[in-house]
């Protein structure tokens, strides 16, 4: 079967493409913004991508079209799908019907930490010899791909609350029917489709309603928004982490070394990750793995070899003592957690935050007050194109070239540049490293 995917370079849709390819289908796709890491892994798998939407991309041999949620009516290729009466479906529904129905599904939901927690969980299962399938909205370094079928009976999925498609406005995760569910945290986000936090909580409660009574929900005990969701009704056993059934004790200032405890078992992790948020993510992953029979010590040994996910405070290079990081930032809480973790690691060394606000929520100014607190951890703030009245001391540049020119001329040995964006940011990371290296000649 020939499956064609619209929006194929999005993190979720690229994973759908990989799974369809592994099932033996011919897979092609279209997108308007093609950039790594998704474009790279699709190319390596021999999946052809068209750059730019056109009805000419819909070749006569296409049997089925999967339409991503970034697409809407008026898009030339969407209109052609409808006019030609081609069979079409949303990505989440295709995933549920063609893949997840065959597995024990472990889903990770929440505003923050979904990708990292899912990647940790997959790695624990992999190290236990269970060969899990997975679909994650990022590329775990331990695997090098964002999705695979696996040969075992378990499938880990990052469960996103964003809508499924222009014709299906339910949250993606409503389709997944997990038996093990993580609720990491819950804040207001996606202001383009949700009017308030209560609307998001409603979708999360619909998710809770789908978990069977012989499953398990693992939730952050210190998150009142999640408490409110569960108070609306829950028919599944609960386990909690962060001050609940699962706890951690840090053994280092940057949280790279810590102990894990539940009522019966304990273990110790020493890894390359930093930050309290990653400790919390680890607790959720370990509790999930424990639900399917993996003991705490075994899970901790696995996580001690965990390599994180691309674009999660990823060190892209060090030139003349200047460290350049790439971080997938989309919300003030995530930005604050990342910068706090780096501050714990580098102490008083200078941190320069270079930020591109791409999410609809941030561009709409919903979190202006929160972003002040989050970015206050950095010593210097550089914004791309968009200024904020609440950040009067931030430097604003309208081109990537000017940002690079400024950084090359002002950054010194021992300083840290954190580039924060949930998009490609015009490949600023590699371009900056190239210009920094020129200074060594």
Using 50, 70 and 90 to split pLDDT, how confident is the model at 285?
very high
Tokens of 149: 């079928």
Is 224 in contact with 246 (CB distance < 8 Å)?
no
Q: 379-407, pLDDT tens digit by residue?
A: 999 999 877 778 888 899 999 999 999 99
* E-assigned strand segments in 199-274: 216-220, 238-241, 247-250, 257-261, 266-270
Bigger pLDDT: 345 or 57?
57
Would the pLDDT of 424 be above 80?
Answer: no
The domains of the chain, with CATH numbers, are 2-90 (3.40.50.720), 99-303 (3.40.1190.10), 314-438 (3.90.190.20)
Residue 233 pLDDT: 96
Would the pLDDT of 364 be above 70?
Answer: no
The proportion of the chain whose per-residue pLDDT surpasses 90, expressed as a percent, equals 66
Using 50, 70 and 90 to split pLDDT, how confident is the model at 441?
low
Would the pLDDT of 197 be above 70?
Answer: yes
* Packing angle of the helix pair 400-410, 428-438 (nearest 10 deg): 40
Is 172 in contact with 206 (CB distance < 8 Å)?
no
Q: 246-275, pLDDT tens digit by residue?
A: 999 999 888 889 999 998 888 999 998 888
Bigger pLDDT: 441 or 326?
326
Would the pLDDT of 52 be above 60?
Answer: yes
Bigger pLDDT: 389 or 339?
339
Residue 359 pLDDT: 59
Distance CA 337, CA 334 (A): 5
**Quick one: which of 397, 352, 389, 347 has its CA closest to 371?**
389
Tell me the pLDDT of the chain averaged across its residues: 90
Tokens of 4: 């064609």
Tokens of 83: 């006019």
Q: 120-162, pLDDT tens digit by residue?
A: 999 999 999 999 999 998 888 888 888 999 999 999 999 999 9
Residue 368 pLDDT: 64
Residue 426 pLDDT: 86
Q: 160-176, pLDDT tens digit by residue?
A: 999 999 999 999 999 99
Name the pTM for this structure: 0.82
Would the pLDDT of 100 be above 90?
Answer: yes
């Amino acid at each position: 079967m020939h499956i064609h995917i619209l929006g194929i370079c999005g993190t979720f849709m690229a994973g759908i493409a990989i799974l369809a390819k592994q099932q033996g289908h011919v897979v092609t796709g279209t997108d308007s913004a093609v950039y790594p890491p998704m474009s790279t892994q699709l190319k390596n798998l021999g999946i052809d991508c068209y750059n730019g939407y056109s009805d000419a991309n819909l070749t006569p041999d296409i049997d089925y079209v999967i339409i991503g949620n970034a697409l809407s009516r008026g898009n030339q290729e969407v209109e052609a799908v409808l006019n030609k009466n081609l069979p079409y479906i949303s990505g989440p529904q295709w995933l549920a019907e063609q893949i997840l129905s065959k597995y024990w599904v472990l889903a990770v939901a929440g505003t923050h930490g979904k990708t990292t927690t899912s990647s940790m969980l997959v790695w624990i299962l992999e190290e236990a010899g269970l060969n899990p399938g997975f679909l994650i909205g990022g590329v775990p370094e331990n695997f090098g791909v964002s999705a695979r079928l696996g040969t075992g009976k378990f499938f880990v999925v990052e469960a996103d609350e964003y809508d499924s498609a222009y014709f299906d406005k339910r949250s993606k995760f409503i389709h997944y029917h997990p038996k093990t569910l993580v609720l990491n945290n819950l804040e207001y986000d996606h202001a383009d489709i949700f009017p308030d936090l209560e609307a998001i909580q409603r979708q999360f409660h619909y998710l809770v309603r789908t978990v069977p009574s012989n499953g398990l929900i693992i939730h952050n005990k210190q998150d009142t928004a999640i408490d409110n969701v569960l108070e609306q009704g829950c028919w599944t056993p609960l386990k909690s982490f962060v001050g609940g059934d699962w706890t951690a004790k840090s053994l280092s200032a940057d949280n790279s070394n810590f102990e894990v405890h539940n009522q019966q078992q304990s273990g110790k992790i020493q890894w390359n990750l930093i930050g309290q948020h990653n400790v919390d993510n680890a607790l959720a992953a370990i509790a999930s793995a424990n639900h399917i029979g993996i003991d705490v010590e075994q899970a901790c040994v696995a996580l001690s070899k965990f390599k994180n996910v691309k674009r999660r405070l990823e060190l892209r290079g060090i030139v003349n003592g200047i460290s350049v990081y790439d971080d997938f930032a989309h919300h003030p809480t995530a930005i604050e957690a990342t910068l706090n973790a780096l501050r714990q690691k580098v102490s008083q060394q200078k941190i320069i935050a270079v930020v591109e606000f791409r999410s609809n929520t941030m561009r709409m100014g919903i979190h202006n007050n929160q972003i002040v607190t989050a970015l206050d951890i950095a010593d210097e703030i550089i914004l791309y194109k968009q200024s904020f009245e609440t950040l009067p001391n931030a430097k604003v540049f309208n081109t990537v070239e000017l940002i690079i020119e400024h950084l090359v001329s002002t950054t010194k040995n021992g300083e840290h540049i954190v580039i924060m964006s949930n998009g490609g940011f015009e490949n600023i990371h590699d371009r900056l490293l190239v210009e920094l290296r020129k200074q060594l000649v």
